[in-house]
Amino acid sequence: MINSNNITKTLILGLLVMLSYSCADPDEKPILTFDDAIKGSYPRVTSTSGAALVDPNNLSSSSFGYSVEFVDETNGVDVTEFKFTMTYNGGSEVDMPGRTYTSADFTKNADGYMSMDIPAFTAAELSGLAGVTITAANADAGDYFTVKSYLSKGGLVFSNSNKSSTITGPAFAGRFDTTFPVACPSDMYLGEVVSSSDFYWNGFDAAATATGVSVEGYPISIVEVSAGNFSFNDWSFGGYQTYYACCVPEGDFGFSDLCGVVTFNKTATDSYGDAWEFKYFMAADNVTLTIAGNNPAWDENAITTITFPVAQTWTCDNCEAALADVTF
């Protein structure tokens, strides 16, 4: 039988051991206090100018600058260095000449934080460091530059790799890294479109299993994933709601707009590892887009008509030549 007196004695002994550590030897105290904790610092954006993209059609005017204040327990007084590097398409990281700033470059702003206005990054600067020539003819959708920053304080270096995700969220407005996609401002329509789908859940060589489907309460929309990159919110175009009463397929579906030329992903892999194929046709009025989708692993097949509210100004780089070709 368990002896309650022994339990009580054990608990008292444990408490005495903890008290002896916390009182007798301050170097072995079990509680981390604010004074003992390592305190980081981060650059908070206070204003911006220009757009963070490299526009092949307007290289001379492609620039982006911003101002920051250094946020920590001393309002940035202990920040000693703010350094920038750059990568192109995720490649090797290179230093940016003239982009290492020290405390001599910082000033105290009206709110009491040490701060600085970062000179604008230009397309010429970024492409020159990467050793590439950017033109509308040779640019590829998905090309990008990344400018990285490193903040030094107390012998420690803080960057995007060791920051909290909260810091760079909208509430704290922190910025360590900035991505500059190679893209033109897009005229792609964003929002809900009218859709109508014919489903061939037994294969395209069989009769349609449903026609003219537009699922009420689940509209099809075009969303912007990143600058110049877009997707439909549901690549089954209502098929999963119709047949499974749930969800949408996830995967590397999408399309890109590079200076008015749109390229659709004609193949994709969903989150289950299934391979999809697509074909597209844009009508001469630039209002109606027809899409054939094929997931042979499960015979999930559809021909969908997308109707834009207004004529689109972009051209399709890899659409089929005729509507009759949009099938499998």
Residue 10, SS3? helix
* Cα 88 to Cα 93: distance, rounded to the nearest angstrom: 8
- CA-CA-CA-CA torsion sign (133, 137, 140, 141): positive
Provide the pLDDT confidence category of residue 10 given band limits of 50, 70 and 90: very low
> Residue 94's pLDDT is what?
97
Residue 144, SS3? strand
Do 67 and 46 touch, CB atoms closer than 8 A?
A: yes
Structure token pair of residue 204: 């395209």
**In this predicted model, what pLDDT tens digit does every residue of 271-293 receive, in sequence order?**
889 999 999 999 999 999 999 99
Structure token pair of residue 298: 């499960």
Lateral strand order in the sheet of 114-122: 42-50, 63-71, 114-122, 107-108
Give the amino acid at 28: E
Hey, how many other C-beta atoms are within 10 angstroms of the C-beta on 234? 21
> Residue 15's pLDDT is what?
34
Hey, how many other C-beta atoms are within 10 angstroms of the C-beta on 316? 17
Do 233 and 275 touch, CB atoms closer than 8 A?
A: no
**In this predicted model, what pLDDT tens digit does every residue of 195-234 receive, in sequence order?**
999 999 999 999 999 999 999 899 999 999 987 899 999 9
Distances (CA, A) of 233 to 220, 224, 256, 298: 6, 10, 15, 21
DSSP code string of 266-320: SEEEBTTS-EEEEEEEE-TTSSEEEEEEEETTTTEEEEEEEE-SS----EESS--
Q: Which of 26-40, 129-143, 152-166, 252-266 has the lowest mean pLDDT?
A: 26-40
Q: What is the pTM of this model?
A: 0.64
Separation of first and last alpha carbons in the chain: 77
**In this predicted model, what pLDDT tens digit does every residue of 85-104 receive, in sequence order?**
999 999 999 999 999 999 99
Helix (H) or strand (E) holding 80: strand 79-88
Pairing of strands 288-295, 300-307: antiparallel
* Cα 209 to Cα 87: distance, rounded to the nearest angstrom: 50
* Cα 250 to Cα 66: distance, rounded to the nearest angstrom: 35
> Residue 227's pLDDT is what?
78
Provide the pLDDT confidence category of residue 38 given band limits of 50, 70 and 90: low
Task: Kindly calculate the radius of gyration of the chain based on its CA atoms and give it in whole angstroms.
Answer: 28
CA atoms lying within 13 Å on the CB side of residue 68: 26
Give the amino acid at 259: C
> Residue 23's pLDDT is what?
41
Q: What share of the chain is helix, strand, coil (3-state, %, to 5)?
A: 15, 40, 45
When the pLDDT of each residue in the chain is averaged and rounded to a whole number, the result is 87
Residue 18 has pLDDT above 50, yes or no: no
Give the amino acid at 6: N
